[in-house]
Structure formats: structure tokens, C-alpha cells
Amino acid sequence: MSHVVIFRATLRRELKLLARQKADWVNPLLFFIIILTLFPLGVGAKPNLLREIAPGVIWIAALLSVLLGAERQFRQDYRDGVLEQLVAARAPLLGYSLAKITAGWLGSGLPLILVSPLLILFLGLSTDALLAVVLTLLLGTPLLSLLSALGAALTLSADKGGILLALVILPLYIPLLIFASSAVEQASFGLGYQAQLAVLAAMLCVALALVPIAVQKALKLNVG
Amino acid sequence: MFKWLDPYAKPQVLFATLLWWQRGLMPLAIVVLVIGTIWGLGFTPADYQQGDSYRIIHVHVPAAIWSMGVYAWMAIAAFIALVWQVKTAQWAIGAIAPIGAVYTFIALFTGAAWGKPMWGTWWVWDARLTSELILLFLYLGVMALQNAFADRQTGDKASAVLAVVGVVNLPIIHFSVEWWNTLHQGATITKFAKPSIDPSMLWPLLICLLGFALLFGALTCLRLRTAILQHEAHRPWVRQYVEEQQNARV
Amino acid sequence: MLFEQLDLQLSAGEILQIAGKNGAGKSSLLRILTGLSEPEDGAVFYRNVTLSQSADDYADDLCFIGHLAGVQPQLTALENLSFWRACFALKPADDWALLATVGLAGLEDIPCQQLSAGQQRRVSLARLWLTPAKIWILDEPFTALDQSAIRALTALIASHCSQGGAVLLTSHQAVDIPGYQVRQYMLEYRW
């Protein structure tokens, strides 16, 4: 039983489910946009202020919106007994986890990237800064998906899963937040930000190598 | 390589061994800490720059150093638990985490208490304090995760995974916060050049450092023994032990 | 603690029923036997090798259908079957004909959440027709099934055992497999 076969089958299945349950990708997207709306409403709409806080605000909104969708990632399969079956059959959960994470990114990360031009309007970002936003989202949202899948897998059978997931994962998000928002900030001053992008890429590589294994372990122990 | 450790993984053997260690470590820890804190807080000369308020470093610095050291020990226990499936190592995580959390809290609290005379404010987002705060969240996350499950064993195992993930992240978080701090130098220059420390201040600091370490060891023995009793409550040797303790008390 | 001092054996061609009142621990015992849970003391042996050492071989020879259906409600029965086929290396087959055999003709391509509980159970039991596994561990397989489905399942179990397979199932009702003496193991409820 190979990882590739199960990866493809799971990915196909998840894409079908994404197409059928539009709320799974529409809701986090709307949440993202609403948070971006809340900030000008909360801190005042002075263009200079908004431009200053924009980098952090965008990334916090992205964090929270991915976190919102995280809890549901494995829960349905856990409740239905699909995970139990996979663990009992010792199916290669690594392929399953990777497919779930990929589909999760397609549902919660990719829409954010596509919607980011809105940010020019909402937060008065320059086009340089927008490019930085897109690049950091491109590198950062897969990292968000990986970490949130880890949180979801760890808290799968916990009693109060949702908020516990956030508590567990938010500290791990902090380096990503720091470097991504710094990149956007530098870009808005017209400065280079290759260093930050390089660090983000490095974090993504490390996470890609280590997180799926941890997710697999976490799924097994929650079902066992 | 670690075969000689195998018998110590068994709860009953570990329980007896830990008692022996605890009996040695606890009094030693108390003595060392008392000496160190009184010497450091009371009898060291006043610093020419910072006056008397700097003395808190005798509590702040050991607490901060050991808050990270304790996390490392927790991660080692977690690693043992995950790789060799040792149950007592899983229980050790729950024993160690609150100690580390309290040390972190002490570091934060004393850092804030130091901050008031130093910077005129109770809190400042300098790299070290911010790192400590995030470390506190990591500890609280491990503790929350462990207690969130109906099945205690799942909680133990999940917190083991989280502890290992956290220890990988710890250097990343630490360095990224330091880097962030250099970017966002606030209006106040919080440059904190580490002055070369005078021997009269160094000795009590080292003694407190040792004291905190011994206290950690002693408390871990105590907490782990309690955890063993809780998890093995249905075993005959525990019932026998409890009976003996009750009879001794009567 | 649910139970202690259990001694069970299952050989090829046998059907073993774990019986007992609700809450006696039947499902928990099954989870231990499938390797999902670990017992506090004692071990499970497959072909005289402990489960921890023979886990992969055992998993290849095992088909476990648990208390939960394992059916994704938003997918159709056909889609669920094709997913399982990929995950559990099931035999390729005519899924339409198979679903007709279990009595789901005409319901193959609607989302499973629109099926009744018994119908969803039949989708999950359809795996038994496709699996190459020799050992079947079934948790309350006859729950929510109607007479025709029960007949089809008992016939399948009988033919599986006649080909050298073994079946371990739980049920709090009597199990009647034509041509086979079903051994019973009673789990007592522990106060």
C-alpha cells in the first residue's frame, strides 16, 4: 500500500468535498476580509496609520482565518470512523496527512492569496508592498496549513478542541508572523526583503520535512 | 546502550528510586536556595549604576535560565516517551511542565519588578522578556493539552508530541524575537550591555543557579512519585504502600 | 478497569462471538484485538508472534469493521468505496453490482447522509465482499440491518469461513450462521 496511491485518493476525495461544501473555503475567506474591515473601524481610518499597521494586520488576519478552518480538518473523518479504519489497517497515514494538508491549503490559504489585491484598497498598500504580501502569503500560508494541521491532529479527541488548538498553535506561528510582517513593512519602505523571504522559505522546508510525521503520530495516538 | 535504565522505567522501581533522590535533593535545595537568596538579595554590595534594585537578578536570572533548561528536560522526557514508549516518561512530562511554567512566571514577574526602577515601566517588549512570555505560553499549551482529554493516556501522548515540537521551535522563536527586537527599537533606548560582573555578585548568582536546579530536581521527584501513585492506583503495591503510610500515621 | 484474566483463541474456519450486556467492554476488547488500543497487561498474539512485532502482517490479514460506519456523509456510496479501495488495497470489482448485492440498488450515487443508518452500515459492510483479509473483526455487524441484508451477510460469513477465514464478532443477540457452530465468549459486566 503506497503513500502515493493513498495521497492521490485522499486528495481527489478532499477536492470533491471542497467543491460540495463551499462553506469550507468561503467562510475562512469572509472571515479574513471581515477582520481586515474591523481594523480601520477599530483604530480609525487615517491612511498613514493604516499603512503602518497593515503588515501586521494582514498577517494576523491570515493566521486567524486559517486557524478557524483548522479544527474541522480531521474531525469529520474521526467522527465517522474513517481514521479508525485507516489506523487499524495500518494504512500509510503520511500520504493521507499530506493530502489533507494540501487540500486544507487549497481551501484556506490559496483564496487569501487570490483576494490580497483587495488589500490595496482596504489598507492603502503600495504595489511594492502588495507584491511582498503575495510572496509572503505564498510561502507562509503552506506553513500555516502545516502547523494548523498539527494542532488539529493533536487536539482531535480533546474535549474543548477549538480554543485549545489556538492555544497550542499560536506560539508556533510567532516566528512566521514576525518575518512575514517585517517583509511587508520593508517593502512598503521600498527596501529589500529577500532575507525575510529566505527565512520563511527555510521555515517552510523544515516544517514540510517534520510536521507531516508529527501529524501522523498525533492522528494515531488520538484514534488509539 | 540504555539497557541498564530499563528497570527504572517500571513504576514501582522508579517510585523507590525517586524517593531516595528526593530525600537527598529537597533539603539540599532548600539550604542552597536560602543561602543564595539571602546572600544575593541582602548582602551583596550595591551596583554603582543601578543601585539596589539590581539584586533581583539573583532570582530573575536563575529562574530565566532554568525556565529554558526545564523545557529541555521536559523535551527529553517527551522524546523518551515517544521513541521507547515509556509510560513513566509520559507521566514525567506532566510532572515537569508546571515547575517550568512557574519558573517562567517568576522570571517574568521579577523581570517586571526590575523593570520599574530600570525603565520606569512594568513591562517592555524587549527580546528576553518577550521570549519568556512565549515560553510561558508553550508551557501552558503543554499543560492544557495534557488535561484536555477524557482518556488520560491520550493526553499524555499528545503533550509529548507537543513538547518535542515546542523544543524544535524554541530556538527559532528565540532568535526571531531577538531579531524582531533589534528592528523595533522603541523610543527608549533599552540597550542593556551586560557588564562584566563582579565576583562578589557572581557567587550568590551561581549559588542561586544551583539552588534552582536542585529545587527543580526535588520537585520533579515529588510530582513524578505522585503521578506514579495516581496512575497505578489499582496495583497491589500501591494499595500496600498507602496502607503502610496510613498505619504509620495512626 | 473493564475486564481481566481473559483468554481467547481464534483459529481458521472459526466464528467467535463476544457476547455480553451493553457496557461489558465488548467494543473495547475488539479495539485491543485489532491493535488500536493497548492492554494494561498481557498481549495479543497473531500466529504465535506478539502483535507489536507482527503488526504489519496482521494488518494486512485483518478487516475491521467497527462501531462507526467509516462512511463520509457528503460522498456517495460509490465514492466511498473507491476511496476505501485505494486505502485498503481492496479487490477491483463492479461496485454497482456489489451495492445491489447489499440491497442498495438505486442508492449508489446519492450522498450517504441521505441514507438511513442501516443503509450506511450496508455501505461499510460492502467492504467485506472486496477484502482479501482472512480475519474479520466485526463490531455489531447486524445492527440496523433488515432481513435480506442479514441473510446476505451470514451467507458471506459462512463462505468466508469455508475458505479458511476466521470471523470474530460482537453482538448482544444470538448469531446464527448456517452450517457453523458459533462459539460464544461471555464478557461479564464488572462492577
pLDDT at residue B191 in the model: 42
**The pLDDT of residue A157 is above 80:** yes
Rounded Cα gap, residues A66 and A61, in angstroms: 9
Q: Is C66 on the interface with A (CB under 8 A)?
A: yes
Mean pLDDT of A133-143: 94
Cβ atoms < 10 Å from Cβ of A127: 10
**Chain A neighbors of B140, CB-CB under 8 A:** 167
Q: Is A179 on the interface with C (CB under 8 A)?
A: no
Mutate to test the interface with A, among C87, C112, C113, C168 (most CBs of A within 10 A): C87
Give the number of other Cβ atoms within 10 Å of residue B104's Cβ.
27
Between A6-10, A26-30, B45-49, B237-241, the lowest mean confidence (pLDDT) is in B45-49
- The pLDDT value given to residue B47: 66
Residue B190 pLDDT: 40
Residue A22's pLDDT is 87
Q: Which value, in Å, is the radius of gyration of the alpha carbons in chain A?
A: 18
Among A16-30, B65-79, B182-196, B224-238, the range scoring the smallest mean pLDDT is B182-196
Nearest to C74 among A8, A21, A82 (CB): A21
Among B140, B165, B176, select the one facing A175 at the smallest CB separation.
B176
Q: Tell me the chain B residues in contact with residue A159 when contact means C-beta distances shorter than 8 Å.
A: 148-150
pLDDT per residue as tens digits for the range A165-184: 999 999 999 999 999 999 99
Residues of chain C with pLDDT under 70: 1-2, 24, 189-191
CA distances from A202 to A196, A206, C71 (A): 10, 6, 39
Residue A106: its pLDDT value, please?
94
List of E strands, chain C = 15-19, 45-46, 49-50, 62-65, 135-139, 166-170, 183-186
Q: Do B148 and A164 touch (CB under 8 A)?
A: yes
- Structural contact between residues B217 and B21, judged by C-beta atoms closer than 8 angstroms: yes
Average pLDDT, chain A: 90
Question: Model pTM?
Answer: 0.87
Between B194 and B167, name the one with better pLDDT. B167
Do the Cβ atoms of B169 and A172 come within 8 Å? yes
| Closest CA of chain A from B94, distance in Å | 16
Spatial separation of the C-alpha atoms in residues C39 and C163, rounded to whole Å:
31
Residues whose CB falls within 8 Å of the CB of residue C167, separated by 6 or more in sequence, listed in order: C14, C15, C16, C135, C136, C137, C138, C157, C160, C161
CB contact under 8 Å between C79 and A13, yes or no, is yes
A17 vs C contacts (CB less than 8 Å) = 72, 74-75
ipTM of this predicted structure: 0.87
Give the CA count within 13 Å in the CB-facing half-sphere of A167: 19
Residue B12, CA distances (Å) to B8, B19, B83 in order = 8, 11, 21
Chain B residue with the nearest C-alpha to that of A161 = B148
Record the cell numbers describing residue C9, joined without a space: 483463541
Complete domains list, chain C, with CATH: 15-187 (3.40.50.300)
For residue C149, the model assigns a pLDDT of: 82
Domain ranges of chain A: 3-223
Residue A203 banded pLDDT, cuts 50, 70, 90: very high
Distance from the A15 Cα atom to the nearest Cα atom in chain C, whole angstroms:
11
Pairwise CB contact (< 8 Å): B158 & A222: yes
Which residues does chain C have within 8 Å of residue A5's beta carbon, measured at their own beta carbons?
A: 86
Residue B125 pLDDT > 90:
no
| pLDDT at B106 (0 to 100) | 94
Verify whether the Cβ–Cβ distance B173 to A182 is below 8 Å: no
Nearest CB to A159: which of B82, B140, B150?
Answer: B150
> A98 to chain C nearest CA, in Å?
14
pLDDT in tens, C57-88: 888 889 999 888 889 999 999 999 999 988 88
DSSP sequence for B217-238: HHHHHHHHHHHHHHHTTTSHHH
For the stretch B18-31, pLDDT in tens is 888 888 899 999 99
> With bands split at pLDDT 50, 70 and 90, how would you rate the model's confidence at B56?
confident
Please list the residues that pair with B117 across neighbouring strands: none
Looking at the partner chain, which of A159, A167, A171 has a beta carbon nearest the beta carbon of B149?
Answer: A159
**Å from C60 to nearest chain A CA?**
7
Determine the distance in angstroms separating the CA of C74 from the nearest CA of chain A, rounded to an integer: 7
Question: Which chains contact A through at least 3 pairs of Cβ atoms less than 8 Å apart?
Answer: B, C
The predicted structure's pLDDT at residue A146: 95
C contact residues 88-127, partner A, Cβ 8 Å cutoff: 88-89, 111
Q: What is the DSSP string of B48-64?
A: TTTBTGGGGHHHHHHHH
Write down the mean pLDDT value for chain B: 85
Longest dimension (CA), chain A: 59
Query: pLDDT at position A61, please?
Result: 93
User: What pLDDT does B218 receive?
Assistant: 94
| A184 within 8 A of A48, measured Cβ to Cβ | no
* C44 in contact with A, Cβ within 8 Å: no
d(C-alpha A100, C-alpha C53), whole Å: 29
> Is the model more confident about B167 or about A159?
B167
**Residues of A numbered 105-164 whose beta carbons fall under 8 angstroms of chain B's beta carbons: which are they?**
150, 154-155, 157-161, 164
pLDDT at A202 (0 to 100)? 95
Element of type H or E holding A169: helix A161-188
Long-range contacts of C5-13 (CB under 8 A, 24+ apart): C6/C42, C8/C33, C8/C185, C10/C135, C10/C166, C10/C168, C11/C166, C12/C134, C12/C164, C12/C165, C12/C166, C13/C161, C13/C162, C13/C164, C13/C165, C13/C166
pLDDT band at B140 (very low <50, low <70, confident <90, very high): very high
Question: Residue B189 has what pLDDT?
Answer: 39
Nearest Cα residue to C117 out of C142, C82, C148 = C142
Min mean pLDDT across A164-168, B45-49, B67-71 is at B45-49
Chain A residue with Cα closest to B180: A178
The three three-digit cell numbers of residue C14, written as one number: 472459526
